[in-house]
Amino acid sequence: MTSPQPRPAVIATPFDRHGSITPAELEALGLSGDAIVDFSLSVNPYGPPPGVRAVLEAIDIARYPDPDALALRRALATHLHRPLSQIIVGNGSAELLWLIALAFLDAGHRALIIGPTFGEYARAVRLMGAEIVTWRTDERDDFAIQPDEIAVLLAQTRPKVVFICHPNNPTGRLLPLQALARWAAAHPATLFVVDEAYLPFAPNAPTALTLDAANILVLRSMTKVHALAGLRLGYAVGDEAIIQALRRVQPPWSVNALAQAAGVAALQDEAHLRTSLAKLAAAKEALLQALRAQGWRPLPSAANFFLLPVDDATACRARLLEQGVVVRDCASFGLPRHIRIAVRTPAENECLLWALSKVKKCLE
């Protein structure tokens, strides 16, 4: 008997594994979510701005959200010094990645992904039946981007879209923006998507928004830095024609009313952002120092997370889970000997250090 079949590209697209532990995994392990500290989730551990909760209470959830997200886009326009027409908001920046694929990729097109990186770029490309070209950074090279090698690959493969993460998940490396400017100028028909989901955690790192090229689209997440992951909120900034194309393929009302209002409130509370990021930067330095003192070799990172080389990432994650902490096993990034750790508050980081010291003892 024949049954309804999805498109071949859908069947060929596997699920991607993400960081945070799921309720299903917790249940299978007989653990309670309250009993673990999650270092696999790279969000601001100081939480959303305190005013956000009161704003959410006032929302009439019986009404549809504004399909144009006007108040939020106006707040973003002021914040970014960009016209409204150059901004689109999404149900998390993940939705915007999918809209880019839907609007710009088709079977027969190529997309270049600079890896190892966030798995949703590849998933969105595969779903459209387009071909993935990958250029991977190398651990022996500290995961640095080699602009000349990428320039050659761009000339050879002429991709329709390029996905670059700045700073990169999971390596924490920044993209050299001069190289991006050169690539974008040499390939005006290619859309360069720069995912800046973690850029606010990298103090003083330059943004691709300063380049202002018509074929560069910058993605930002409001779920990480403003700790709104459960509400889902992100935005993209770029040329008006590109933003229009994304709006054409966006499902109606995809950004709910609570997320829109929370976004406006979060943008208003600059003090909470400043103080939480300063505390986080200090916590990161202290954690890195303590890890080195324990004999670990954390890799340098511009972001709020970093890679830690281990013998076996999957086994290490499982052992740490027994001690009540979750880290990201990087095997799905093609890094089976690295775990990714997001920095949390000093008290939570102490739990991690204690758990890692136990794991280290059983490795010795």
* CA 342 to centroid of chain Cα atoms: 12
254 contributes a contact to ligand PLP by CB under 6 A: no
Give the binding-site size for ligand PLP (rule: CB under 6 A): 12
Q: How many CB atoms lie within 10 A of CB 198?
A: 26
Instruction: From residue 6, give the alpha-carbon distance in Å to each of 10, 12, 107, 138, 231.
Output: 6, 10, 16, 36, 29
Nearest approach, Cβ of residue 59 and ligand PLP (Å): 20
Q: Which is nearer to ligand PLP, 194 or 265 (CB)?
A: 194
Scan residues 53-82 and list those touching ligand PLP (CB under 6 A).
none
Nearest approach, Cβ of residue 17 and ligand PLP (Å): 11
Q: Which is nearer to ligand PLP, 238 or 319 (CB)?
A: 238
122 contributes a contact to ligand PLP by CB under 6 A: no
197 contributes a contact to ligand PLP by CB under 6 A: yes
172, 299 Cβ separation under 8 angstroms: yes
Q: Which is nearer to ligand PLP, 229 or 310 (CB)?
A: 229
349 contributes a contact to ligand PLP by CB under 6 A: no
Structure tokens at 25: 């995994």
Scan residues 153-172 and list those touching ligand PLP (CB under 6 A).
165, 169
Residue 86 DSSP symbol: G
Please name every residue paired with 284 in a beta bridge, in sequence order, or none if there are none: none
**Nearest residue relative to ligand PLP (C-beta):** 92
- Give the residue, chosen from 65, 115, 234, 263, that forms a contact with ligand PLP under the rule CB under 6 A: 234
Q: Which is nearer to ligand PLP, 177 or 286 (CB)?
A: 177
Give the SS3 label for residue 328. strand
Whether the upstream peptide bond of residue 167 has omega within 30° of 0, thus cis, is: yes
Handedness of CA 233, 45, 196, 353 (dihedral sign): negative
195 contributes a contact to ligand PLP by CB under 6 A: yes
Residue 78 DSSP symbol: H
* CA 234 to centroid of chain Cα atoms: 10
Interface contacts to ligand PLP, rule CB under 6 A: 92-94, 118, 165, 169, 195, 197, 221, 223, 229, 234
